[in-house]
Amino acid sequence: MDGPDEVIHQSTRLKITATLNALPSGEMMEFGRLKAILGATDGNMATHLGALEKAAYIEVAKDYVGKKPRTRVALTREGRRAFERHVAYLKDLIEGG
Amino acid sequence: MVVSKDEAAQALAEIGQAEERASRLRGYRYGAPYVLLWGVLWMVANTAVAIDERIGGWVWWGGVAVVMIASAVIGSRQGPDFTRMSEMERSKYKRFGQKWALTGLLSWAAPCSVFAIFWPSSAMQYNASLLLIWMFVYMIGGIWVGWRLFWIGFAGAAAILGGYFLLRPHFILWSGLVGGGAMIAGGLWMRKA
């Protein structure tokens, strides 16, 4: 059995990855929307997204819609695999594996 | 790092809640433009029928065609980026799209089949029964997709039944303004989710 993923297991990062994992692979979520869903602050979000980006679990895209800046995030393929491994680990742990 | 069974159970519960919430809100955001489109059509076409029944009939048929084309365009634009998907995911979404197309087709075929047998005796009955069926489709869909959709259907159905029995001389206008207005408000409500 693999061990827990220390990057993902932290509560806010767990919620971020679970939320992004609910989207199809090609879809990104706007930063503001993700923040609202999780009820987190700007600073908190930036810290945890930074940690996930450093682990190459998420990609962050910045662009403009008209004159308004837009930041979007998505799980990378590696992030999705890491999340699935972590969920499998948690399930194994509960089932006594 | 050591994780206890209790922490694992707590983490899995948090994951389940986050995924459910994300899927529900995504459903609202994606469904909102369709609810708005049909709400605008309902309002405009019924108001046209109230002013002139013959012209209103044409507005309905033309409007349905426009809304169906617009819905297809919105559906293709809102879809995920297939170039970034694995073959398995692409085929999953293709099946998902086919199921939605079939759902849309059956949602029209069902009332058409019923009307072929029980043809309404007036434009008012036709209007009320068709819209009532749609509102119940919204309510049934809402039970599975999210309660906002259910309450939009509930408000629409209540407006139709109330207007049909209490405001019969002005029913078509009532149906357009109140029913259409409820759908537009509901669509905006879903979009804000």
The percent of residues in chain A predicted with pLDDT above 70, rounded, is 98
B22 belongs to a structural domain: no
Asked whether residue A1 is domain-assigned, the answer is no
Kindly state the tokens that stand for B75. Answer: 């559906």
Q: Cα angle vertex B95, ends B81, B192, to 5°?
A: 55
Which pLDDT tens digit goes with each residue over B152-174? 889 889 989 999 999 988 998 99
Task: Please give the tally of structural domains in chain B.
Answer: 1
What interface predicted TM-score (ipTM) does this complex get? 0.86
Q: Is residue A23 part of a domain?
A: yes
**How far lies B180's CA from each of B42, B46, B130, in Å?**
5, 9, 14
CATH number of the domain bearing residue A51: 1.10.10.10
Chain B interface mutation, best of A12, A13, A25, highest count of B Cβ atoms under 10 Å: A25
Helices A31-38 and A11-21: angle between axes, nearest 10 degrees:
120
pTM of this structure: 0.73
A95 has a chain B CB within 8 A of its CB: no
Contact call for residues B148 and B193 (beta carbons, < 8 A): yes
Domain count, chain A: 1
**For A7-12, what is the mean pLDDT?**
92
Could you tell me if residue A63 is inside a domain? yes
Q: Is B149 exposed, middle or buried (0-12, 13-18, 19+ CB in 10 A)?
A: buried
Range of the domain at B164: 33-88+114-192
Residue B16 in domain: no
Q: Is the dihedral of CA B24, B26, B31, B36 positive or negative?
A: positive
**B60 in a domain, yes or no?**
yes
For residue A52, what are the domain limits?
Answer: 6-94
Judged by CB atoms closer than 8 Å, whether chains meet at A26 and B83 is answered as yes
